[in-house]
Homo-oligomer: A and B are copies of this chain.
Amino acid sequence: MDEKDTQLRECAERLALTLAQSGMQRTTARVMTALLFTQQQTMTASDLCKELHISSGAVSGAVNQLIPTGMIERVPAPGSRRDHYRFREHAWATLMGNQNALLDSMWNAAAEGLKAAGHDSVVGRRLDEMQDFYGFMQREMAALIDKWREQYEADER
């Protein structure tokens, strides 16, 4: 039983590392994966401190980065003054949706470039393809997330 716990914690740390390498802050990633791989329903800030060996300040910072993204949420805990946190249900679709913001940035960058250079030039043709691609991806990704939401909710019932 303790064996399991160790394995889970290792999974969590490994994933956190991967996420950190692709841009997420290290501690933020560790807090997120801790909440993802815990066997508890929720964790308090001090649980996270103990589990990850970090200060309460670090937990506070990480948690306040994660909440606005919709990955975790604060849950009111009856009979406890402490804040409880938990991984949000259906958070994955939210996360993926957030990443679409990057698609927007790409599309916009292309659009601005085209405004400056026009379509009919070396750079114009390059940016045209870029804009097409990200326009396509924006539309299709949004559709994909909707599709999953529907499908998943159908399975639930």
Which A residues form the contact surface with B (CB < 8 A)? Answer: 4, 7-8, 11, 14-15, 18, 21-24, 36-41, 87, 89-90, 92-93, 96, 102, 105-106, 109, 112-113, 116-117, 121-123, 126-127, 129-130, 132-134, 136-137, 140-141, 144, 147-148, 151-152
B residues within 8 A CB of A15? 105-106, 109
The reply to whether B92 and A122 contact each other, CB–CB distance below 8 Å, is no
Given contacts A117-B8, A117-B39, A137-B96, contact A129 B89 (CB under 8 A): yes
The reply to whether A92 and B123 contact each other, CB–CB distance below 8 Å, is no
CA distance A106 to B126 in the complex (A): 32
The reply to whether A134 and B92 contact each other, CB–CB distance below 8 Å, is yes
Min C-beta distance of A72 to chain B, whole Å? 12
CA distance A116 to B8 in the complex (A): 7
Known: A11-B112, A129-B152. 15 other contacts (CB 8 A): A11-B109, A11-B116, A14-B112, A15-B105, A18-B105, A36-B123, A36-B126, A39-B122, A92-B129, A92-B130, A96-B137, A133-B148, A136-B151, A137-B144, A137-B148
Given contacts A109-B14, A134-B92, contact A38 B140 (CB under 8 A): no
Min C-beta distance of A34 to chain B, whole Å? 11
Min C-beta distance of A2 to chain B, whole Å? 12
From A40, which residue of chain B is reached at the shortest CB distance? Answer: B122
13 A-B residue pairs with Cβ-Cβ distance under 8 Å, sorted by A, are A8-B113, A11-B113, A15-B105, A18-B102, A22-B23, A23-B23, A39-B121, A39-B123, A92-B133, A93-B133, A136-B148, A137-B148, A140-B147
